[in-house]
């Protein structure tokens, strides 16, 4: 079973694009601080598809907290391994303090 859940803050704004067939997808980064060592942080790339991709791109901003659940894909290109999370669900958390938008 490939189930993955992370909670962290967005490192960049979600980028919404559409495939040639018209299917929406978005990508963003998330930083996860290790619970026992606040000086260590892991960074993940996240990809969403369909309506979730559009919702994420419309509502999430850089620095906002989010909980992402989905599955992990590991790809290898030119002797390097890349880890990507394919999101099935994204829960929105607190916006950054300097955000101009009012809280939910």
- How much is the pLDDT for 104? 41
Q: Which residues of the chain have pLDDT under 70?
A: 99-104
| Domain formed by 4-85, architecture | Beta Barrel (2.40)
| Domain residue ranges in the chain | 4-85
Which pTM does this prediction carry?
A: 0.82
pLDDT of 101 reads 56
pLDDT of residue 61: 95
CA-nearest of 82, 88, 96 to 8 is 96
């Amino acid at each position: 079973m490939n189930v993955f859940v992370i909670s962290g803050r967005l490192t960049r704004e979600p980028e919404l694009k559409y495939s040639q067939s018209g299917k929406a997808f978005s990508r963003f980064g998330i930083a996860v601080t290790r619970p026992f060592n606040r000086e260590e942080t892991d960074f993940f790339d996240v990809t969403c598809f369909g309506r979730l991709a559009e919702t994420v791109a419309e509502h999430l901003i850089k620095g906002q907290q989010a909980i992402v659940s989905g599955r992990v894909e590991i790809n290898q290109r030119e002797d390097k391994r890349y880890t990507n999370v394919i999101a099935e669900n994204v829960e929105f958390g607190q916006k950054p303090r300097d955000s101009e938008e009012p809280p939910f």
